[in-house]
A and B are shown apart, each in its own frame.
Chain A
Amino acid sequence: MTDSAGAHQSRKVPSQLSDTAQSIWGTLRAIASTRHGATGGAILLLMVLIALLAPLIAPYDPQSLTPSSLAPPSWTNPMGTDSIGRDIFSLVIYGTQTSLTIGLGAALGALLLGGTVGMLAGYFGGIVDTVLMRIAELFQTLPVIILVLFTVAFFGSSFWLLITAVILAIWPIEARLVYGQYLRLRNMSFVDAARVADMSAAHIMLRELLPNAIQPVIVQVALDASVAILIEAGLGFLGLSDPNVVSWGQLLYDAQSYMTVAWWMSVFPGAAICLAVAGLNLFADGLNEVVDPRTRGRKGGLQ
């Protein structure tokens, strides 16, 4: 009886890398079945489409100047124009590309860096663990935006540097999460079995452990993406993002000087940020519901 209970508790033993992909696919489908997950997923899908089809959707080139500046929303300019006559609707459409690139790039970068560090620390333990996790703590002490601003202050604000800075600021969260997962899984029986079978550490880490550790990590990737989008928007709002790239935050920076005369300059780009972040958060929430069985259904409430 104890045997069957034990077998039931340990997860199924995947041995192919494709299982990781399968696990991710299965998770995505499960998310779509949750209320928040489906809504968030739909928002994200919409945003991806807008970003891909931006040249078809946007009525103007984002940098081209229309004859009227500070024009309120109308049929020709659905979201109005800014102080130099650019069409805000087109700017917001193209800004989607920037935000999604930042979100995706920074989140994947943080996953790669943090995931590797967490994996190594969690699997090997001992001195590797101590050193790596102390470094993670080092980076985690300061607020993300302070770290990013600090980097931008010294090294400039090109788009790719910005992504790098965001990755450097957020990887520790990912590292800690993966670390925790690997600590939990490290001593499970199927890992022992793999060790006995003389498989390499890399094989065990990537093929045996990764598929089992991946789910909560995806939640964090979605949250990381929302943090990255907010940071980029914040930097743009401070006028410190890459001036060569259209960004929602920058539009808010421009709006700051025209608050009394052109509300549309602030409202629409800001709403776009909210939508993107809400989409990611809803998605992460749905994901969380799938991953953490304790949150499935509702166990709270007191009669």
Chain B
Amino acid sequence: MSSFQSQKPNMLLDVCNLKVHLAVDGKTVRAVDGVDFAVAPGEVVGIVGESGSGKSTLARAIIQLMPNVAIAELSGTIRFNDADLMTASGTVLRRLRRQNGFSMIFQDPLGYLNPTQKVGRQIAEALDNSDDNRVLALLHEVGLPKPHQVARSYPHELSGGMRQRVMIAIALASEPALLFADEPTTSLDATVQRQVLDTLRRLHKSRGMAIAIITHDLGVIAELCDRVYVMRGGKAVESGTVVDVFETPQHPYTAELIRLSTRHLQVAQQGAQRAAP
């Protein structure tokens, strides 16, 4: 942790002691309970944990996109470049979302696209000066064949993989410095998962943007990430470079996670080997 302290001035995103406590049926649920989290420019960071570990809430709290739930406590600091997101006004947040700030893609692309609007229009909406060529360029960039045709389609007319690419295109429209991806491949078939991950890696390389991936899948982490945070019960129990964490887990829970998914371990080793040179 102390090693990050010294890097702080260079961090794109720096979250300190974030607490998000929700009020559910009269009880307080500590969804996120004092988490430190940071992303450097151009870095790919993973957040891994079981469902209910608070990893999605963490991401949503950071970009100030909480769903309509009763919040019992919300505290800590969230610095993004020079802005303090905790105290930022709606205008500042909107500007960050519209231009060079952050954006997010979600687990279930069908539910997160408006069913009554054509895809092209939904992408154009995220652009500051929406022109058709930009829309088509974005669709092309995320690897969709026949962008013309896709732009004229409704979400339900596309396959799951295509929808997720459309979501990515929407997220890219604002040229974000940081892209949050919340379980981006969970709802997809295995082969499509592969393609979407490849697309994300390609985009990371070509655009140089930072990506924060939230997943329960250690394989995804091993393949894409530089660093990883392991979350459990609202706390980040361990963090470090993927190679360090996977090879010498410090926390018993991390060790257990790795042991439980031997398949993932193999993939992780491959990933580690790839990352080594």
Q: Which residues of A contact B (CB under 8 A)?
A: 297, 299-301, 303
A297 & B90 in contact (Cβ 8 Å cutoff): no
Q: Give the residue name and chain of the B residue nearest to A299 (CB).
A: B68
Whole-angstrom CA separation of A206 from B264 in the bound complex: 51
Chain A hits for B92, CB < 8 A: none
B247 to chain A: closest CB distance in Å?
A: 28
A296 closest partner in B (C-beta):
B25
Shortest C-beta distance, B26 to chain A (Å), equals 10
Complex Cα gap A301–B70 (Å): 12
5 nearest A-B residue pairs (beta carbon) = A299-B68, A301-B68, A297-B70, A300-B68, A303-B90
Tell me the nearest residue of chain B to A297, going by C-beta.
B70
5 A-B residue pairs with CB within 8 Å: A297-B70, A299-B68, A300-B68, A301-B68, A303-B90
Shortest C-beta distance, B62 to chain A (Å), equals: 17
Determine chain A's interface SS by DSSP, over half rule: loop
- Chain B residues with Cβ under 8 A from A303's Cβ? 90
- Tell me the count of chain B residues lying within 8 A, CB to CB, of chain A: 3
Which residue on A lies nearest to B69, using beta carbons? Answer: A299
Please give, as numbers and ranges, the residues of chain A lying within 8 Å of B68 by CB-CB distance: 299-301
Alpha-carbon separation in the docked complex, A301 to B67 (Å): 10
CB distance from B216 to the nearest CB of A (A): 12
CB distance from A4 to the nearest CB of B (A): 13
Query: In the docked arrangement, what's the CA distance between A297 and B68, Å?
Result: 10
Expressed in whole angstroms, the minimum distance between the Cβ of A181 and any Cβ of chain B is 24
Chain A residues near B70 (CB-CB < 8 A): 297
Residues of chain B within 8 A (CB-CB) of A300 are: 68
B67 → A minimal CB distance (Å): 9
Q: Mark B54-71, 1 if CB is under 8 A from A, else 0.
A: 000000000000001010
Chain B residue contacts of A299, Cβ below 8 A: 68
When distances are taken between beta carbons in the complex, the residues of chain B under 8 Å from A301 are 68
A297 to B70, CA, bound (A): 9
A266 to chain B, nearest CB (A): 44
Q: Mark B66-80, 1 if CB is under 8 A from A, else 0.
A: 001010000000000
Q: What is the CA–CA distance of A222 and B68 in the complex, to the nearest angstrom?
A: 30
Q: What is the bound-complex CA distance between A297 and B22, given in angstroms?
A: 14
What separation, in Å, do the CA atoms of A300 and B68 have in the docked complex?
7
**B90 contact set on A, CB distance < 8 A:** 303
A294 vs chain B, min Cβ distance (A): 11
Q: Which residues of B contact A297 (CB under 8 A)?
A: 70
Tell me, in angstroms, the Cα distance from A87 to B101 when the chains sit together: 75
